[in-house]
Amino acid sequence: MKKGIRIAQIIMLAGLCLFLFISNKATAEKKEDGILDGVVRELSWFSDMPLWYPEEWSEDTGSGTGKITDRTGVKIDYMIPEDNGDSRLSLMMINGKLPDIISVSDENMIRHLIKSDEVWKIEELMRTYLPASHLLTDYPEDVKEKLIQRDGDWYGLSSDLHSPYNQMKYKEITSFYRELQQQGSRLGIIWNKALLKRLGLPSNGPRTEEEVLAAFAMVLEKEVTVNTKPVIPLLADGRNYQETTLPVLCDFFGAGWTDGEGKYQERILSDGSRHALSFLNQALREGYVEPEQFIMKPYNIQRTLNSGQVLCFIGDVSRSGIDPLEWVSSGVILSADGNKPILEMALSPDCGEMTTFISKSCEYPEAAALWLDYMTSPEGMADYLTSCPSVWWPLIDEDWYCSSQGKPEARDMAWKQILCAFARRPEVTVYDSSELFFPIEGEDYRELETAVEGCVKAHLNSIIMAETEEEFKTIYDSFEEELYKAGIEELEQRNARIYRNRIK
């Protein structure tokens, strides 16, 4: 239940400026040579990120995507399932119909693609079809090293590109964006400003666990409404809660990757994780959260947040679709048992949230290579943003984006308050995500990790839906037993060995 933190994932700024770049003449000539036949080829682009909502690809030469098509001879057919993206991709593999471009976040799926020999090695693809590609000369070595360490070779391109090597390609970013890079967290807690004022609560929101629960209770006791509809005390992050709401609650309640003696632990077994599950269970039992929330789609979460009826939201704030001027973050919920909050942050280069691959079944690999080369250039990224101005996409270069920004406005300032509030709390302990990177050694460990993850996903719903405290304890104890049967102790011992060696 770990989440990398990247600024490109978290800034949802409205009204982006159009970026103007002058293409290098040699690069332009190279790209024109690649489309001499004048034929436009359609490539499918799959992503397992349901919260990515790109505009339909336009071939109009006045649009950004139209300029990309003009440069590369490629147009894109997006394939972004609302749910079960990895299962759908697995089915495509079985049927021998993989998409041309594949952007995925699930590490098990990444391993499966590579082990099945379904995707190109980037260097092989480019040396074969586009030997003059900038990717062969300026892709950041520190990020490439992480990708090779994880995958065994350089098979894909990282999202949210950010590293010391990468930063050298661009101008120095302003202090505003540097702080946002260093402190921004896409997962967090936010409060509706208007409802805080109406209820007489602190303007920055309650902070302690007791104060938070009391605020939720007040909403029900006073039967607060907005436009005749009852106010929702707490909104969880819908069907994605296991990847968003629950992990950040674990962070709040101190579910770290080391115990009190500094020894590595699988944090799902920690007291903080149990506390997070208990908090959600109590919220359900008390009526602060409705069970239906846990099956809501991202679109419905965004609509509900923008209805004015939600007091508090815990989850993926960066992709919540809110107006940041109407919300504020209290940063954390301080645990009633005194455990200090923790936060995992990328203090050194990592593999990003997603990795983008080119399928070996792609009918037009030369066109795919040319498109990938241009889409990762400053010109191509600027073109894409003019047509799909949602800031984040699977090939975003965070350092380029931040170096391109001008003076921040009020909305930018509001986003910064919300996204940096967690890291700025003095009680927070920060974990470097690079120390929590565990490459899988052999098929046995891959199967072990998959079994443990499957056990976690299979039991969480029943735990948080328990109708009494006694039932919660019974189900949780059974869950722990199943984790040990799945092999979590063996996995913990293996990861502890790697962790000890890394921090020596």
- Token pair, residue 464, equals 């948080």
Per-residue pLDDT of 449-470, as tens digits, reads 889 989 999 999 999 999 999 9
Q: How does DSSP classify residue 319? A: G
Q: What are the φ and ψ backbone dihedral angles of 272, each rounded to 5 degrees?
A: -65, -35
Decide if 326 contacts 192 (C-beta within 8 A).
yes
Decide if 428 contacts 332 (C-beta within 8 A).
yes
Residue for token digits 């070595």?
141
Q: How does DSSP classify residue 224? A: -
In the prediction, which pLDDT does 439 show? 65
End-to-end CA distance of the chain: 25
User: Residue 430: helix, strand or coil by DSSP?
Assistant: strand
Q: What is the mean pLDDT of the chain?
A: 88
In the prediction, which pLDDT does 83 show? 76
Mean pLDDT within 303-311: 97
DSSP line for 265-296: --GGGSHHHHHHHHHHHHHHHTTSS-GGGGG-
Instruction: Place 21 in a pLDDT band, splitting at 50, 70 and 90.
Output: very low
In the prediction, which pLDDT does 38 show? 74
Q: From residue 313, how far is each of 14, 227, 249, 309 by CA, in Å?
A: 21, 19, 12, 11
Q: What is the pTM of this model?
A: 0.85
Q: From residue 360, how far is each of 34, 101, 286, 347 by CA, in Å?
A: 19, 10, 53, 34
Residues 6+ apart with CB under 8 A from 463: 277, 281, 472, 475, 476, 479
Other residues' Cβ atoms within 10 Å of the Cβ of residue 336: 14
Structure-derived torsion over alpha carbons of residues 44, 48, 52, 56, reported in degrees to the nearest 10: 20
CA distance 177 to 437: 26
Mean pLDDT within 239-254: 95
Note the CATH number of domain 171-345+407-434: 3.40.190.10
In the prediction, which pLDDT does 63 show? 92
Task: Please indicate whether residue 347 or residue 386 has the higher confidence score (pLDDT).
Answer: 386
Instruction: Place 432 in a pLDDT band, splitting at 50, 70 and 90.
Output: confident
In the sheet with 187-192, reading across from the earlier edge strand, the strands are 232-235, 310-316, 187-192, 327-328
DSSP line for 152-197: SS---EESS---HHHHTTSPPPPHHHHHHHHH--SEEEEEEHHHHH
Q: One-letter amino acid identity for 87? A: S
Smallest Cα–Cα separation from 310: which of 396, 164, 415, 205? 205
Decide if 278 contacts 285 (C-beta within 8 A).
no
CA distance 342 to 251: 5
Helix (H) or strand (E) holding 104, with range, is strand 101-104
- Architecture of domain 19-162+352-405 in this structure: 3-Layer(aba) Sandwich (3.40)
- Token pair, residue 352, equals 């990003």
CA distance 56 to 387: 9
Percentage of the residues of the chain whose pLDDT score is greater than 90: 67
CA distance 187 to 250: 11
CA distance 386 to 371: 17
CA distance 42 to 186: 33
Smallest Cα–Cα separation from 421: which of 180, 240, 250? 180
- Chain centre distance of CA 147: 17
Residue for token digits 């520190």?
142
Per-residue pLDDT of 93-106, as tens digits, reads 888 889 999 999 98
Per-residue pLDDT of 52-80, as tens digits, reads 888 899 999 889 999 999 999 999 999 99
Task: Please indicate whether residue 190 or residue 81 has the higher confidence score (pLDDT).
Answer: 190
Residue for token digits 């003095």?
426
In the prediction, which pLDDT does 500 show? 80
In the prediction, which pLDDT does 400 show? 93
Smallest Cα–Cα separation from 180: which of 318, 300, 63, 83? 318
Residues 6+ apart with CB under 8 A from 107: 150
Mean pLDDT within 373-378: 96
Is the pLDDT at 34 greater than 80, yes or no?
no
